[in-house]
Structure 1
Amino acid sequence: MPDFLTDFHHTTTFGASAGGGIDRQAGTPEHGAVRAWFRRRAEELGMTISVDAIGNQFASIEWIPGAPHVFTGSHLDSQPVAGRFDGTYGVVASLHAAASVAEDVASGRLVPTQNLTVVDWFNEEGCRFEPSLMGSSVFTGARSLEDILAVADNSGVTVAQALEETGCRGTDAIPPVASYVELHIEQGRRLERAEVQIGAVTGNWCTRKVRVTVIGEQSHTGATLMSDRRDALAAASEIVLCVERLVGHYPEDAMVTSVGRFTVGPDVPGVVPGRVELSLDLRSREAPKVIEAWALLRSQIEAVGRRRGVTVEIEDFDLRDAVPFPESGVELTEKAAAGAGVSCMRLETMAGHDAISMNRVVPTALMFVPSVGGVSHCEREFTADADLATGLEVLTRVVGRLVEGAPNWVDPAAEAGTSCSGSWSE
């Protein structure tokens, strides 16, 4: 059987891009192809495959009929022209961790009290179909299956159609889950700067994502006087700068902001744009800062609209509270790293991961390996093979311990999270 690194590097051939990355957006043929590879590889490793209604794939090993399952995994979809490590590493590592644990059970070195399932979540990235964390959010009940299946991409293709076309719209019953663990690249530079090999994630940053639509009036770029224009693009450009300048109101590194999507209509040379759609993103470890920042930004956006004579429509589409991961899961990661003889440090995740969805319903652990230069969501994303292998060893130890018998997990629902909005809770 191929080893872990062979399998991982093989996955980079699915949707490979010219610059050494991948383009495997959710529900595309390239994504369907790597997901089919996942099913074949899991079956070769002796696992049983099931697929749920939102296209999450599960590869299970059952030792104790009726007992709950330890889940481990990540996602195989990517951003457009992105890195080959994000998500995929966690899925392939989970397959091999599960295979190693199964060998330990078969040899008698490990006595299971729970079963084991590797999961490939659908559409973690949220680029082709919004929002992100789609499959795990439906799985946990945070989002409606019917609503998500009806979501369409820019070409009008729905999630339901994309799942049908890639053979990933299932009807299978899914094993009961006892706990979840996810291994991921950091996508930042904290581990690299500290020269530490494993990150034990203690919680996630609060995130607020907002759609803003600026509606002006189309007009002729040559014949319309400047004083007569209601230029949606000029107004939207001001809003982008407002978003960027927002972080200046807070201490350094206390908040990050961005505009990730900017769609101009009609987007032709001879027409003053009449409509622009933007997706804004505000993140901080402290929910009050996100609430305060959004109130300030909203007032600035509305002021731009009034001054330029355009209409501004605002819609929240993705909000995530800051929620801690169970302390016992963090400690389990630290002990596994110590057992493997590698360094470990605690840190928070600024990025979103399926572990954030799962942490709302079951005890969850999230761990990181270093990212070279902190670069992610682009073709230069890189993690060295030695760090990939180290992460696999620590993950295998954590999964084995959970299969033997979970530690004294703290119920995540009992730990106080902080809301990104005065009225919203997921």
Structure 2
Amino acid sequence: MPNSPSPDAFGPDTEEFLADFHHTTRYGATDNGGIDRQAATVPHGQVRDWFEARAAERGFEVRTDTIGNIFAVKEWNPGAPYVLVGSHLDSQPLGGRFDGTYGVVAALHAASALDRAVRDGHLVPQANIAVVDWFNEEGARFPPSIMGSSVFVGLLELEAALRTVDPDGVTVADALADTGRAGEPVDLPLAGYAEVHIEQGRRLERAGIPIGVVDRSWHTQKLLVRVVGEQSHTGATLMADRRDALVAASHVVVMVEEMVDEFTPETIVTSVGKFDVEPNSPIVVPRRVDLVVDLRAADRGDVTRARSLLLERMERLAERRGVEIEADDFDVRPVQPFPQDAIALGQEAARDEGMGSAVLNTLAGHDSVALNRVTPTVMLFVPSVDGVSHCEREFTSDEDLVSGLRVLTNVAARMVTGALSQTEPGGERPHG
């Protein structure tokens, strides 16, 4: 692995970084200190406008591809491949201001620091660099999540993504056009990818360690579950005569949570995060409930076993409650190991910056997991206070944000000067 130049030669402007990051919190700001910037909404378009303008001010060429990913490109060596650095600017409903946004702003400042070092003769790059804001990482408005990066690497077909509709029937294609993000094909040969993100867990905070280096993702899969009963009058229908879809669906929710008791503690997580009731009237026994079950574990076998147990129990529940329950597999993602050289590079970069690091797996999905299938990828974490995320209380200190920025800059410097150039991607390649 090539030696990197002294970190002092390409240190980022941390005060300017913090000012930019905290500025982004005004776009889609909520009353309780969070943000609500679902993909291709007006606030999301506004923060993306800001990102484009800020990148252009720093001399980056801004391009938008056909699924709405934004690339701020700096070409030092014509014809050379690109190291991508970035994350996403969209959020969950009533989400936190750190998730994703931190990674984009940190990437812009890391790349700007490297560009200054190249111009000053302190850094001789073999690869170019591009800062990326991936479209619709969260998948809150348009499922599935990690949409933009999945299209980019070939895991999801572009046309299928563009046809996806939100709850109001608006397609991704129309939403991108409405926010001025219906772009053109972008061809960026890859030399690697790096991303920094809040941990969204408590492991770093508990250990008092400032940097996490991701070694693998968990196996995840969702189930689209439909519970169908019979609509009737809540006042006129006797209890014994009801086929209440909502009551049956409530049993499913409890089943999903209690499933973890069948496994070793902290090896599996389960949840129901979306729950739609029809007709949702106060005087009507519900006829149908649609819900999304999320199963995640470090081991694929645990997810497979949990799925089988859940299907068996839902079948018995349907018979007992006089309803129909159907479940379809959705958004299945296998374990993705990150390259050993990429893990070592992240650890070495942290040491360069005088920081300790811990090797962690990621329970959550990230754009890095998609990119890791096609190019060597480094994924960094910084601590999350109380491990809280996807809510307005999400918080990471300025000190930890700056630590992650410094390590990301060091990682990117190593990568553009040839580190990982001979390394194969860590995850499974896309099929087809």
Tell me the TM-score range normalised by the shorter chain: over 0.9
What is the DSSP-based 3-state SS (H/G/I as helix, E as strand, rest coil) of the residue aligned with 2:393? coil
Tell me the CA shift for residue 118 of structure 1.
0.3
CA deviation string 1:401-421 (max 9, x = no partner)? 1111123654236x679xxxx
Q: Is the 8 A contact 2:88 2:104 kept in 1?
A: yes
Tell me the CA shift for residue 390 of structure 1.
0.6
Asked if residue 370 in structure 1 is aligned to residue 347 in structure 2, the reply is no
Equivalence for 1:70: 83
Asked if residue 32 in structure 1 is aligned to residue 69 in structure 2, the reply is no
What is the DSSP-based 3-state SS (H/G/I as helix, E as strand, rest coil) of the residue aligned with 2:327? strand
Tell me the CA shift for residue 83 of structure 1.
0.5
Asked if residue 230 in structure 1 is aligned to residue 243 in structure 2, the reply is yes
Equivalence for 2:10: none
CA deviation string 1:342-383 (max 9, x = no partner)? 111101000110000001111111000000110100111000
What is the DSSP-based 3-state SS (H/G/I as helix, E as strand, rest coil) of the residue aligned with 2:237? coil
Equivalence for 1:118: 131
Alignment map for 1:123-202 (pairs within 5 Å): 123-202=136-215
CA deviation string 1:304-351 (max 9, x = no partner)? 112112111211221110111011111111111001001111010001
Alignment map for 1:18-417 (pairs within 5 Å): 18-407=31-420, 409-412=422-425
C-alpha spacing 1:130/1:217, structure 2 compared with 1 (3 Å): same
What is the DSSP-based 3-state SS (H/G/I as helix, E as strand, rest coil) of the residue aligned with 1:3? helix
Q: Is the 8 A contact 2:191 2:421 kept in 1?
A: no
Which amino acid counterpart does residue 182 of structure 1 have in structure 2? E
Q: Is the 8 A contact 1:329 1:409 kept in 2?
A: no
Which amino acid counterpart does residue 289 of structure 1 have in structure 2? D
Question: Aligned pair count?
Answer: 419
User: TM-score normalized by structure 1?
Assistant: 0.96
What is the DSSP-based 3-state SS (H/G/I as helix, E as strand, rest coil) of the residue aligned with 2:53? helix
Structure 1 vs Structure 2: percent identity of aligned residues? Answer: 55
CA deviation string 1:176-234 (max 9, x = no partner)? 12210100000000000000000010000110111101111100001111121110001
Which amino acid counterpart does residue 15 of structure 1 have in structure 2? G
Which amino acid counterpart does residue 360 of structure 1 have in structure 2? R
Q: Is the 8 A contact 1:200 1:347 kept in 2?
A: yes
Q: How well do the aligned residues superpose, as a CA RMSD in angstroms?
A: 1.5
Which amino acid counterpart does residue 185 of structure 1 have in structure 2? I
What is the DSSP-based 3-state SS (H/G/I as helix, E as strand, rest coil) of the residue aligned with 1:302? helix
CA distance in structure 2 between the aligned counterparts of 1:70 and 1:313, rounded to whole angstroms: 44
Tell me the CA shift for residue 174 of structure 1.
2.9
Unaligned runs of 5+ in 1: 418-423
Which amino acid counterpart does residue 195 of structure 2 have in structure 1? E
What is the DSSP-based 3-state SS (H/G/I as helix, E as strand, rest coil) of the residue aligned with 2:138? coil
Which amino acid counterpart does residue 123 of structure 1 have in structure 2? N
Equivalence for 2:8: none
Q: Is the 8 A contact 2:222 2:330 kept in 1?
A: yes
CA distance in structure 1 between the aligned counterparts of 2:46 and 2:314, rounded to whole angstroms: 43
Which amino acid counterpart does residue 104 of structure 1 have in structure 2? A
Which amino acid counterpart does residue 311 of structure 1 have in structure 2? E
Which amino acid counterpart does residue 272 of structure 2 have in structure 1? V
CA distance in structure 1 between the aligned counterparts of 2:235 and 2:291, rounded to whole angstroms: 26
CA distance in structure 1 between the aligned counterparts of 2:40 and 2:320, rounded to whole angstroms: 42
CA distance in structure 1 between the aligned counterparts of 2:121 and 2:207, rounded to whole angstroms: 39
CA distance in structure 2 between the aligned counterparts of 1:148 and 1:173, rounded to whole angstroms: 17
Unaligned runs of 5+ in 2: 1-12
What is the DSSP-based 3-state SS (H/G/I as helix, E as strand, rest coil) of the residue aligned with 2:281? coil
CA distance in structure 1 between the aligned counterparts of 2:208 and 2:63, rounded to whole angstroms: 40
Tell me the CA shift for residue 173 of structure 1.
2.3
Which amino acid counterpart does residue 121 of structure 2 have in structure 1? G
